[in-house]
């Protein structure tokens, strides 16, 4: 069952992460996972206009985090413990980036999700990421 929908997750981001909440837009929330878009701005770019690696990491990290929160609610603060990311193609210059997340495991102590990152106008995924979160005891 979903404990938080897109507006609830958006409000949570605004409250807890005011520094970065404008960067992200929650596009979809369901039992499979979430879709989150990085609104690409100058600060996310490398010379040449490509989205930087850290910005892609940040998108995947936030997106899997929100997928977990959508299921457990805003009660406990999950902490990223591992990320593996493959950069496969160059994102289009200046285009927004979307991460489609599958929540693969939601255990008592650990949660695992993975995501594909899509650049508007590129027809294959530009990156792939999997992340593990530790869920502290309530």
CB 25 to a second copy: min, Å: 18
Q: Does 110 sit near a second copy (CB under 8 A)?
A: yes
Q: Does 122 sit near a second copy (CB under 8 A)?
A: no
Distance CA 6, CA 3 (A): 10
Binding map of a second copy across residues 15-44, x = CB under 8 A, - = no contact: -xx-x-----------------------x-
In terms of C-beta density within 10 A (0-12 exposed, 13-18 middle, 19 or more buried), how is residue 111 classed?
A: buried
Helix (H) or strand (E) holding 56: helix 53-72
CB 61 to a second copy: min, Å: 5
Binders of a second copy among 43-102, rule CB under 8 A? 43, 45-47, 52-55, 57-58, 61, 79-89
CB 33 to a second copy: min, Å: 13
Q: How far apart are the first and last CA of the chain?
A: 19
Distance CA 45, CA 55 (A): 8
Distance CA 127, CA 138 (A): 34
Binding site for a second copy (CB under 8 A): 16-17, 19, 43, 45-47, 52-55, 57-58, 61, 79-89, 104-105, 107, 109-110, 112, 114, 116, 124-125, 128, 130, 132, 134
């Amino acid at each position: 069952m979903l404990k938080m929908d897109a507006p609830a997750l958006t409000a949570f981001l605004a409250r807890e992460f005011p520094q970065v909440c404008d960067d992200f837009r929650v596009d979809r929330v369901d039992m499979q996972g979430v879709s989150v878009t990085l609104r690409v701005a100058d600060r996310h770019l490398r010379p040449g206009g490509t989205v930087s690696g850290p910005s892609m990491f940040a998108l995947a990290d936030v997106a899997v985090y929100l997928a977990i929160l959508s299921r457990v609610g805003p009660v406990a603060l999950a902490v990223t413990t591992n990320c593996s990311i493959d950069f496969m193609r160059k994102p289009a210059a200046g285009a927004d980036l979307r991460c489609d997340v599958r929540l693969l495991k939601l255990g008592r102590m650990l949660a695992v999700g993975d995501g594909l990152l899509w650049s508007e106008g590129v027809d294959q995924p530009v990156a792939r990421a999997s992340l593990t979160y530790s869920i502290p005891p309530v």
